[in-house]
Structure 1
Amino acid sequence: MPPYEKSMEITPFKQKKCLATRKDEVCTIRSKFPNKLPVIVERYLREKKLPLLDKTKFLVPHELTFGQFLSLLRSLEASQALYLLISGKNMSCLSASMGEVYSQFRDPDGFLYITYASQDMFG
């Protein structure tokens, strides 16, 4: 895997769109897919080892556990250990449903923001 480069930095989702636009987007998503949760997954800003995911927006079923969601993300980047932080600072029990995690940690705009990082983030 190539080392982290400045050119690989991207603007966080919240900074790309204003609050009103993000709220409208969530409203549209929830009306089209009432049984799915809008989740944004982004790489930790100081992450040096993990690559960017191909996409950042996910529609996740309420019943899916946080552990199953982690497995889904791991399958996208199977070669590295992956740690997930909710709203940039919280961790959740792997057996909690995404519906529970969403209701507890969703942002005021309606998205659930999850940051992924490697172990070095904690050290």
Structure 2
Amino acid sequence: MAPFEKSMEMMPFKQRKCLATRKDEVCSIRSKFPNKLPVIVERYMRERTLPLLDKTKFLVPFELTLGQFLCLLRTKIALDPSQTLFLLVAERSMSCMSSSMGDIYSRFRDTDGFLYITYASQEVFGASQLAAGPC
């Protein structure tokens, strides 16, 4: 992969495409798949331990719970069962895992029509394990 392509991959989705393009994309997706929700999943910018996903766009059924979606992401990332994975909805909220994606979409979708979810490990929210002393 060329260095430019790699840097584009690291850039957040909103910065890669203009608002009009993103809105057109959502309209196209929603017309083709009316029973699915367009979701963008990206790694937290300061995350260093979790790998990048091979894709950022997902089509998710309304009735799928956030917990089920988390399991799907854990499988895609190929996480060890002992590794933690947190989801931030709209870069600000840790939603209830039993909430349906339809509920979350209706509450937190962006103005462009996508639902943005950021994934991170525990270390992002507190001190790193190396900095923390023994218990």
Cα RMSD of the aligned pairs, angstroms, is 1.6
> C-alpha distance in 1, partners of 2:51/2:71?
16
Residue 96, structure 1, aligned to residue 99, structure 2: yes
Number of aligned residue pairs: 118
Alignment of 1:72-91 (within 5 A): 72-77=72-77, 78-79=79-80, 80-91=83-94
Q: Percent identity?
A: 74
Residue 32, structure 1, aligned to residue 37, structure 2: no
Q: Which residue of 2 is the match for residue 110 of structure 1?
A: 113
> C-alpha distance in 1, partners of 2:75/2:120?
15
* TM-score, reference length from structure 1: 0.92
Q: Which residue of 2 is the match for residue 50 of structure 1?
A: 50
Residue 41, structure 1, aligned to residue 44, structure 2: no
**1:40-93 deviations in whole A, cap 9, x for unaligned?**
000000001001001100000000000000000011122232100011111110
* TM-score, reference length from structure 2: 0.84
* Shift in Å, 1:33: 0.1
Q: What SS does the aligned partner of 1:53 have?
A: coil
> C-alpha distance in 2, partners of 1:88/1:48?
17
> C-alpha distance in 1, partners of 2:26/2:101?
16
Indicate the structure (1 or 2) with the bigger Cα radius of gyration. Answer: 2
Q: What amino acid does structure 1 have at the position aligned with 2:101?
A: M
Q: What amino acid does structure 2 have at the position aligned with 1:26?
A: V
Q: Which residue of 2 is the match for residue 4 of structure 1?
A: none
Structure 2 unmatched ranges of 5 or more: 1-6, 127-135
